[in-house]
Amino acid sequence: MEPSPRSAADDLLLIGAGALGRRVGRLWLARHPQARVLAETRSERFHPTLREDGMIPQLRSDPAPPAMPTVLFSVPPASQDDYAAEAARAASLWRGDGRLVITACTAVYAEADGGRCVEGSPLADSPRAWRLREAEEPLLAAGAVVVRLAGLYDCDRGPHRVYLRTATSARRPDGLISLIHYDDAARLCVQASCLGDAGAIYLGCDDQPITRQELVQAVVRSPRYRTAKVPPQACRFTGAEGPIGRRCDSSWTRRALDWEPTHRRFLDWIDEIQER
């Protein structure tokens, strides 16, 4: 049997092929084996890996790629001086017949007193939130799909790694952290790229927020981290006032995109990696 002809309608442009973008690219090619996946990065560091995974890497400094049917903009806001302009550039590279997806952050939400936070919850009025909103809002108006993600983590990245390197923090030990594993976030981005509605906002989290103290204690107990070259010390939190945080709830997103996280709780994940 002859292979079916390649359809350019399945092609994907990744703007930001870091820890999240690379995972999305691999999942996309598993779903669309004949697709072209262009992966744009700021450096050539991961280009060999991207090629091995079947993607076509290119630098941000290269000539702009052609407009693509589906575009994922997954660039950390802190890495860009003009984040809104970079998001607008992503929109200009979207052909319009697929979906334009922008990964965003739950820091845009106003809730900070321990209450429930959902996709349409009120937004914050802080400088950080406005930086995110200035990138999101024009793209939403143009029909983009926004995926707001809680704290991303895996073995090597995430808030637990930050606190392992921190002896003392002025934050509250009972402050809440909502989380999502990189693998689950990548699957959510693929679902949003295939099923998301134009102008919709989705929320990615495991729905099981934990306190900073719980997170640090769990990681310090883990043999995986105790056997590191520098044994981790429990970060001491000294804060007694200030915001508690938010309890992110992705129930609506789960139903809308037929998505469920594989890693349902950070504490369960810690137990799982101890057994490997």
What digits encode the pLDDT tens for the residues 33-85?
999 999 999 999 999 999 999 999 999 999 999 999 999 999 988 877 899 99
Give the rounded distance of the alpha carbon of 232 from its chain centre.
26
Spatial distance between the Cα atoms of 112 and 124, rounded to a whole number of angstroms: 9
> Per DSSP, which regions of the chain are E strands?
12-15, 37-41, 56-59, 70-73, 100-105, 113-117, 145-149, 151-153, 168-169, 176-177, 179-181, 201-204, 210-211, 236-237, 245-248
Judged by average pLDDT, the poorest of 122-131, 158-167, 193-202 is 158-167
Residue 90 tokens, joined? 């992503």
